[in-house]
Structure formats: structure tokens, C-alpha cells
Amino acid sequence: MRALCATVSGSLPPGAPPLAAARCAAGDAKAPSDELRKVDNRQGHQVPKELQSTRGSAVEYLETGAPRPTHAEKVATLLAGQRHAMLSTLSRDARVDGHPFGSLVNIAVGPDGELMTFLSKLAEHRQNLERDGRCSLLVTEGQGSAGERTDPLSYARATLVGRLELAEKTAGRREKFLGRHPRAYYVDFDDFGCFVLKPEAVRYIGGFGEM
């Protein structure tokens, strides 16, 4: 998982141009034209009439012969693109000892592909982790603007189960975290520590019916 996250998160440098623009700049492809958008007198993404009765959607037609990303690749991409997660720890409160305790935390992918967060000693979830490091992190796809999909169950999400362990607050981890959270000045506070997830199981759901 760590190597996979590192591969996916490092495959495209920040500000990289779209693939088509990059190819045009390198002279490997011509600029888009009306001719390139027409195939058998079709416009854009229109599915050929002879295939409309045999395939259910344009997605199926366009994906024919194309490699599909694995769930591991989808999880790595999801983690690299999100900034927040729901952290569930085991409560140390005697009234609800051992019950799941949910918290919202900021996350980032570290220099070695590890999922990390910075937690204060005052936080209840950190105190829970210091007694028992077992936890789960729920990471969800960012929701679109109004008018787009409104049911959160239609979005991709991943639950990562494992242990959050206190790790060295290295310059590389600090840089990666601030890159995702520019205002996270607390990374330099003495009472904030860097915690790295040691995953033991992952559950990915891509939306309705995809798991």
C-alpha cells in the first residue's frame, strides 16, 4: 500500500499540463480539429447506432479494450486527492470503554507513500491511540457542487483498518503535510505529533454496486 500510494501520488507533478497539451508541445500529436471529432459521421462521444442495441451505455463502449485500474490503484488515487478523514479510535472513557470514538482529522500522503496525520496531545482521539493504537480511517471522495450528485452513497470511499503509530516529525513529512494543509502551522508545535497509519486491511467502495 505504501509503495502504491507513493507511485500514484508521485506520477504527476503539480501543475502538469493535460496529456493532450503535453503531446502537442512535444510534437507527438496534432492539435484537436473538427476532423478528429468525427468518426463515421458521429459527433463527439456519440455511440454508433449498431452498438446501441448491444451495449447499455457510452461508458461500456468507450471502455472496450481499455485497462481498468485495480482497487488498490483507486484507493491510492483517492488518498492522494483527499485532505480529510473520519478517524475512529477505541474510547478510553470508563463510561463507554472500548466503544468507537469518531473524530475528523486532516490527512496527507507522506514522502514514502504512508498515510499520516498530526494530532495534539490534548485531543481525545490521540489519548485513545496512546492507550490502544487500533483504529480505522474513512476517506471519502470530495462532493461536487450543487446540482451534481447529491447522494453521498454514490461517491467512492475507502475504510483503512490498522494502527496509527507516532512517527518521527521529519522535514519530508512536514513538507508533504503543509503542501496539503498550508495553514497547518501546528505541525511545529511541541504538543503535536506525526502519526503514520500501519494498514492491516482496506475496504474500497466505488459507489453503488462497486466494491
Residues 156/207, Cβ–Cβ less than 8 Å: yes
Q: What is the pTM of this model?
A: 0.67
| pLDDT mean values, one per 10 residues, the chain (211 residues) | 42 41 40 42 52 50 71 94 97 93 98 97 97 97 61 90 98 98 97 98 88 69
Q: Tell me how crowded residue 206 is: count the other CB atoms within 10 A of its CB.
A: 17
The pLDDT assigned to 20 comes to: 37
The pLDDT assigned to 83 comes to: 96
The pLDDT assigned to 209 comes to: 73
Tally of structural domains, the chain: 2
Range of the domain at 152: 71-205
Q: Say if residue 59 is in the same domain as residue 130.
A: no
Residues ≥6 apart with Cβ < 8 Å to 173: 110, 111, 116, 167, 194
- Dist CA 10 CA 12 (whole Å): 6
Q: Say if residue 108 is in the same domain as residue 189.
A: yes
Q: Say if residue 113 is in the same domain as residue 60.
A: no
The pLDDT assigned to 148 comes to: 58
The pLDDT assigned to 68 comes to: 85
- Angle made by CA atoms 112, 76, 89, in degrees to the nearest 5: 80
Q: Amino acid identity, residue 26?
A: A
The pLDDT assigned to 67 comes to: 82
Last residue of a domain, one of 49, 68, 87: 68
On the 0-12 / 13-18 / 19+ scale of CB atoms within 10 A, 105 is: middle
The pLDDT assigned to 106 comes to: 98
Q: Say if residue 135 is in the same domain as residue 41.
A: no
The pLDDT assigned to 19 comes to: 36
In a domain, 23, yes or no: no
Q: Say if residue 42 is in the same domain as residue 100.
A: no
In a domain, 5, yes or no: no
